[in-house]
Structure 1
Amino acid sequence: MFKVPNKAYTAQFKTAAVQRVKDGQSVRSVARELEISTQTVRNWIKAEGAGTLNGAGSKLVTPEQMELSRLRAENKRLQMELEIGKKCGGVLREGPPVKYAWIDGQCRDYPLAALCEVLSVSINGYRAWKRGGTVERKRLTEVQLLSLIKSIHAEVKGAYGSPRMTEEIRSRGFPASKTRVERLMSRHGIRARHRRRYRVTTDSGHKLPVAQNLLNREFTPHEPNRVFSSDITYIWTDEGWLYLAVVLDLFNREVVGWSMRADMTTELVGDALTMAWFRRKPAPGVLHHSDRGAQYASHAYQGQLARYGMRCSMSRKGNCWDNAPPESFFNSLKNERVHTTRYRTQREAAADVFEYIEVFYNRSRRHSSLGLVSPTKYLQNWLTTQQAQDTAA
């Protein structure tokens, strides 16, 4: 039986979270979007300042960074209001129902009072709407619905086509048909970002031992922590390539482990596997699938799998479909974020990829193979069902 492990975080995760605060977000906002306590974030910031966040070799915060943090703290309220104002766009010109719906999608990231103040609505009005008042079921006019579509399109940075857009609108309390949403999006040129073909870059030209394909394209395990799938991709920046390794739990397609480095080494994939193990603490017997790349076939990585009690499975030579789920994730990442963004530094790229994985993809993005809910929500729904069945038994 799957058990929810105590939360644990690797140094790379902590560093990325602290960087979001240093880049201008409030502690509360970062804590909400990552679903951790504000005190935990503050502890990480304090440890980073003392040079103890990552152990040996950590960088101390410079005097310039400390002064910048002080100035950002002094202007936090104004900055938050400006950020909310930029996000809400045309919603400001709409009536309360559209504003309430937009606020409902932002409450995880911003205080309710700040959201209501910027959009000039009352907290009591919003709460009445949440309780299921008549305004919740009001059919939006075409102008109102278009405004909401544009707002959501901006929020998700162009990631949703009409099916996901329709589900998102419904989740915010408004009736909407896919036909109507699709017609409005088409008429006004609102569409999901164009998909490009994924290029496979696996280097299997080595003499290291490879494992059999035990997974055999069985991509739908019946519960969490049964099958992990791993892969590597690369992201171009003005400073050169940034390499990203991920580990997915195929049950809910959640990215449970990731690592980013400037070089494609065994440490890259090893760190991603470490994060996955920290997060899930799976019992021995997990099937770990990857391609035949040298990083995964290396003695170091195979030893790590053995220590975690994981069984190794590898794709057949030259067959990218044997490891389709992580390649599908990379397609989404590239098309929805990377291909339309110029990264001037590797740090800038790493921060954006962290936001995509931890804030958007895992916790918010509606996944077509999961019934148009996010990976986190899918797992929560499954756990709730399991608990109900155990209680009934």
Structure 2
Amino acid sequence: MAPPKKYPDDLRERATRMVVQARRDPATMTRAIKRIADQLGIHPEALRTWVKRAEIDAGDRPGTTTGDAERVARLERENRELRRANQILRSAASSFAAELDRPSRRRVGFVDSQREEHGVQPVLKALEQTPAGIAPSTYYAARSRPDSARAARDRELAGKITRVHEDNYGVYGSKKVWAELNRYGIEVARCTIGRLMRENGLRGLLRDKSPRTTRPAAETGRPVDLVKRDFTATSVNELWVADITYVHTAAGWVYASFVLDAFSRVIVGWQVATSLYTDLALDALQMAIWRRQAEGTDLAGLVHHSDRGVQGGFNWSSHHPD
């Protein structure tokens, strides 16, 4: 299908004026439009639309005038541009608003992260009136330069840090991310982890008004520490270690008790609750025992080690009864 024909503005005005002058009443409009359209080589429906628009602009027909339509279109366009700029600035604030004195390399990275969604020029324009602004020449020059060895290393580490952070539901801070990377043989200073997390807008879960999860038990009847702070084991079901942790949710604090096999590093039992009731840790231990016994596992000689809290009615180390 051929594209609609573009008529000159002077032809539109002339044709519309001829129709208005030719017709005397609404009954003659159709004939006037057809005759003048044929005379000037215009499609009748195009001419009918022009006449309708002229009547609206003159106030003879209800509807949105041309001026109002143009004003609405302009406001909608400005609104879209403002929303886009606002989104860019929010992203910039979350990325590096607290560290705007950093080198422009980070700002170049931010523009790169937004270019697919918004385009380079809109991002640069939105940033130019802020402390995070970067000149177009600086941006393109920085992109053409090869990364330094440190920048390449930082980029590689940032990807690994982001994966660890996301794999752990976004709750890990720099200390736990550092420990996790070291577990995989990635040696890096903890301060470097913290810097890269800040630069990439990553942060761990901040605990406010931390609940007290452990109340030291009375000294009377407390079992001795059988492991002497040595948490190594030579086989599975030799040493189980228990702990209680907590996380703040929209509904309040949630408590979780875990029993971990020191050899396999597998969680063998757990219990989750919305309150820190006395038997929380004991329920997790009983679950672990039940699961192993259901598999036919002999637990004779197993040592269970917990903190000195009174949850569950036991503390420190104890042999599992034969």
**TM-score, normalization by structure 2:** 0.36
Question: Larger radius of gyration, structure 1 or 2?
Answer: 2
